Amino acid sequence: MKKLVALFSILATLMIVVSSCETKDPIVEKGTLQSATYNPATKSFTLTYSSGQTETVNAVVDDKTDPPTATATLKDGTVIYAGDATVAGAATIAKEINIVSQFVYDGMSLYYFWADEVKNKKPTVADVNPENYFYKILNSTDTQHGWSWITD
């Protein structure tokens, strides 16, 4: 009986110690995102937080643009962007839709209000480069009719 009481006491102590330890939330303890750099060799971004911690996230490289671009979207919706995926360096951090990309969309959707193609191409937070966004929504010239609903 004494062995059972001793065993129960040890188990109870262990349960109290384990349940009383606070788990650290790595997202909260990192602080706010301060800077981001792009590495073309690893195709990844290195993020630096206010606490000094760093994190590496993989980039999505878009080879359809010239030069290729690199983006990464974090869990909180923040978009990290490198305008030239062939060069290492500082990256852009965006939490909102780029105002110039929104302006391009607003202008095109007003002028071409009848074109469903424009309505379906609203800018997102990932569209941080207005020039790339413009060319993304640019239709190729219709060879049959000789026009495009957006031209240079």
Give the pLDDT of residue 152.
43
> How far apart (Å, rounded) are the C-alpha atoms in residues 36 and 144?
46
pLDDT by position in tens, the chain (length 152):
777 777 778 877 777 766 665 565 555 578 888 999 999 999 999 999 988 899 999 999 988 878 888 989 888 888 898 888 999 999 988 877 777 877 877 777 776 655 666 666 777 777 777 887 777 777 655 556 555 555 54
Structure tokens at 21: 């330890």
Q: Where are the domains of the chain?
A: 30-94, 99-137
Give the pLDDT of residue 118.
63
CA atoms within 13 Å, Cβ hemisphere of 55: 19
Give the pLDDT of residue 140.
57
Give the pLDDT of residue 64.
82
- Judge if pTM exceeds 0.75: no
CA dihedral 100, 115, 112, 139 (to 10 degrees): 60
Give the pLDDT of residue 141.
54
Report yes or no: 28 and 53 within 8 Å, Cβ to Cβ.
Answer: no
Give the pLDDT of residue 42.
95
Give the pLDDT of residue 24.
57
Give the pLDDT of residue 145.
57
